[in-house]
A and B are shown apart, each in its own frame.
Chain A
Amino acid sequence: QVQLQESGPGLVRPSETLSLTCTVSGDSISSYYWSWIRQTPGKGLEWIGYIFYTGSSSSNPSLKSRVTISIDTSKNQFSLKLSSVTAADTAVYYCARVFYGGNSGEYLQDWGQGTLVTVSS
């Protein structure tokens, strides 16, 4: 059974870069799409973006200029960088495995437990 675990700083200063890593265990990262999602009390759930094991990625246009998603298949990890953060980026960040079945649909199949990142000076 696949397991995902987010890791990274819980506190980030305004204007700095938020960096998180998702470590995948129980399955190879070299298949599937892998995604980042965040959740705030005010805006709810927000899709940040996803990456395929080949490195091909896509991100939410509302965040696109600040988001970098990368993957390291040798470590079975993928990562998120969000630059120029503000208090509005304070959220619980989740990583997830994406089921992408073409006509069979697309959904977030397995999730990490989430990690709270607070943006504050």
Chain B
Amino acid sequence: DIQMTQSPSSLSASVGDRVTITCRASQSIRSSLNWYQQKPGKAPQILIYTTSSLRSGVPSRFSGSGSGTDFTLTISGLQPEDFATYYCQQTYSTPTFGQGTRLEIK
């Protein structure tokens, strides 16, 4: 299995901040990397697919970049509704997820 490691595991930030979450794969996954947002008691929702493509309806303050083994999710100008847990997922081989990054209000 390809292991996905996210950092940090948790993050405190304020409304309006710019935050970056990192996801590292144990081997190259080219650009086969997705990002999901999950709020308490809800299912994850796709934000970004194939590293940098924004799902329709997702605000443009979300962006993704990277390739190979290192990827980032950036949120520019945090909004109150963005405080949630974020997961990366690789689909290069048997899909696997990162352990999640919990974004909390400072």
Contacts and interface: CB of A to CB of B under 8 A. Distances in A.
Interface of B is mostly: loop
Contact of A106 (B32, B36, B42): B32
Interface of A: 44-47, 60-62, 94, 96, 99, 104-109, 111-114
B95 interface: yes
Nearest to B48: A107
Contacts of B81: none
Contact of A46 (B36, B44, B97): B97
Interface of B: 1, 31-32, 34, 36, 42-46, 49-50, 53, 55, 87, 89, 91, 94-100
B91 A105 contact: yes
A107 B64 CA distance: 15
Contacts of B1: 61-62
Given A45-B87, A62-B1, A109 B97 contact: no
B10 to A, nearest CB: 14
A121 to B, nearest CB: 27
